């Protein structure tokens, strides 16, 4: 094992196919979940003895900046813990601004869809949500990309033993005010976005990962995403 892999420990909650390491955030250092429009209870939620800060999608610590993330190695594609994940991490550290720009583009696309759904489906018939919305509606420019920094908080990065160009795919995990049940996970190849879903949703597919990406892309592909149908795995 290299010095990179020596920093990781087995994840006590998993089955041996993942290892974890806490380290300083390389991206989105000041982003938080300040607002959660569909959740009027959000401002009153607190941490306590039974609930410590975590990367769980529903944790109230999403409103606090925090300076650490959990990096998770996945070895569920048959290639073990090795070069795929290490090359992915090296690429992230060498190209952080470019990667963050791609993530912001994808997050803003998802934000726009969630905002539209909120106005059409959540807001009209719920008095509590309406009252909460009156308090926060003018706090942000909801149509501007800067809103991302008040609605998404990076809490984890996943690195998997599969990818293209001998570089593993990476997944960026966010708490979000738009979905406190599932969060948001964005799977990437280097600086290109592949797919987005819930936290850890796409990176955990195992040997069927590439086929799963292609399937999701068949019905959900935003401008700027890398279409795997146009590449050779």
The answer to whether the CB of 20 falls within 8 A of the CB of 109 is no
15 — pLDDT class (breaks 50, 70, 90): confident
Question: 232 pLDDT exceeds 70?
Answer: no
Q: Where are the alpha helices (DSSP H) in the chain?
A: 3-6, 83-94, 96-117, 127-136, 209-217
Q: Count the Cβ atoms, other than its own, within 10 Å of residue 171.
A: 26
pTM: 0.95
Q: How far apart are CA 161 and CA 5, in angstroms?
A: 13
Residue 104, pLDDT > 90, answer: yes
Average pLDDT of 114-136?
Answer: 97
pLDDT in tens, 36-95: 999 999 999 988 776 778 999 999 999 999 899 999 999 988 889 999 999 999 999 999
Domain boundaries, the chain: 3-230
Give residue-wise pLDDT tens across range 161-206: 999 989 999 999 999 999 999 999 999 999 999 999 999 998 888 8
Question: What is the Cα–Cα distance from 230 to 218, expressed in whole angstroms?
Answer: 12
């Amino acid at each position: 094992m290299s010095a990179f892999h020596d920093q990781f420990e087995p994840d006590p909650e998993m089955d041996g196919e993942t290892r974890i390491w806490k380290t300083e955030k390389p991206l989105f250092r000041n982003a938080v979940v300040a607002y959660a429009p569909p959740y009027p209870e959000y401002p009153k939620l607190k941490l306590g003895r039974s609930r410590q800060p975590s990367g769980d999608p529903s944790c109230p610590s999403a409103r606090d900046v925090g300076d650490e993330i959990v990096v998770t190695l996945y070895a569920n594609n048959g290639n073990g813990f090795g070069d795929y994940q290490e090359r992915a991490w090296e690429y992230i550290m060498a190209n952080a601004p470019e990667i963050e720009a791609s993530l912001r583009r994808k997050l803003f696309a998802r934000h726009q869809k969630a905002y539209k759904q909120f106005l059409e489906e959540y807001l009209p018939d719920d008095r509590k949500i309406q009252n909460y919305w009156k308090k926060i509606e003018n706090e942000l420019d909801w149509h501007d990309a800067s809103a991302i920094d008040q609605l998404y908080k990076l809490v984890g990065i996943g690195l998997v033993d599969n990818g293209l160009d001998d570089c593993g795919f990476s997944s960026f995990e966010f708490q979000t005010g738009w979905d406190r049940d599932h969060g948001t996970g964005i799977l990437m190849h280097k600086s290109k976005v592949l797919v987005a879903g819930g936290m850890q949703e796409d990176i955990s597919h195992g040997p069927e990962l590439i086929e799963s990406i292609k399937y999701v892309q068949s019905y959900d592909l935003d401008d700027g995403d890398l279409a795997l149908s146009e590449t050779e795995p």
